[in-house]
Structure 1
Amino acid sequence: MYSVKFHKEVEKDLEKLDATSRILFTKTLGKILQSPELGKDLRNTGGIDLSGYKKMYFDGKKKRIVYKVKEKEVIVYIISVGKREKMDVYKEAFKRK
C-alpha cells in the first residue's frame, strides 16, 4: 500500500468541506492508497497543464482529489481537494505543483 503526503494547502481545502464530504474524502483516499491507478489521468486543458497527475471523484462527482503517484517513493501526493466548479480545484492544483 502507498503512503500519503499532502501539499501544505490541502488542509485549508479540507476545512472547506462539510462533515459528510470529509468522511467521503477519507474513504476515497483509502481507495487511492490501495490502488492509485484507479484515478483518471489529467492532461493539459485550457492552459491548465496537469499532465502526470490524476483525479478521483468523491461525493458523487461533485468533488475531486487531484494527486500524483510517486512510484519510486511509493507515495501518493495530494495536491488539491475541492469542487470542479469553474475549474477551481484544477486551477489550485496547477498553482501548487
Structure 2
Amino acid sequence: MKQLVKLEQNPKYGAPLGNKAGINLEGYFKLYAVRKQIRIVYHESGQTIKIIAIDKREDMEVYRIALKRILLMKST
C-alpha cells in the first residue's frame, strides 16, 4: 500500500518498462513492493493512473498478465 500512496503523490515514481523477452510494455512503468518480490505495472495518462497488474515477478508472470490486460483493453 505504501508504494501506491507514493505513486499517487508522484506518477513518475516508478521505472519505465520497455520491450523485454517479447513483451512490449513501452509507455508503462513498474514499482517494486514487498522487498522487490511484488511488481506493480501501471500507466499514467494525464491525471489518471491505471494499475494494470500486481503480482509476483517470478518468470516474468506479472508482465505477461499486464500485456494480456493491455491487449484486452485495446480490443474493447
Instruction: Compute the TM-score of the two structures, normalised by the length of structure 1.
Output: 0.71
**Which residue of 2 is the match for residue 37 of structure 1?**
12
Q: Percent of counterpart pairs with the same letter?
A: 44
Aligned-pair RMSD on alpha carbons?
Answer: 0.6
Q: Give the gaps of 5 or more residues in structure 1.
A: 1-25
Map 1:14-93; keep pairs closer than 5 Å: 26-71=1-46, 74-93=47-66
What amino acid sits opposite 1:32 in the alignment?
A: L
Q: What are structure 2's unaligned runs of at least 5 residues? A: 71-76
SS at match of 1:90: helix
Question: Aligned partner of 2:6: which letter?
Answer: K
CA offsets 1:32-77 (integer angstroms, 9 cap, x no match): 0100111000001011000000000000110010000011xx0110
**Which residue does 1:11 correspond to in 2?**
none
Higher relative contact order (CA 8 A, sep 6+): 1
The runs of at least 4 consecutive aligned structure 1 residues that moved more than 2 Å come to none
Question: Between Structure 1 and Structure 2, how many residues are aligned?
Answer: 70
**Structure 2 length as normaliser, TM-score?**
0.89
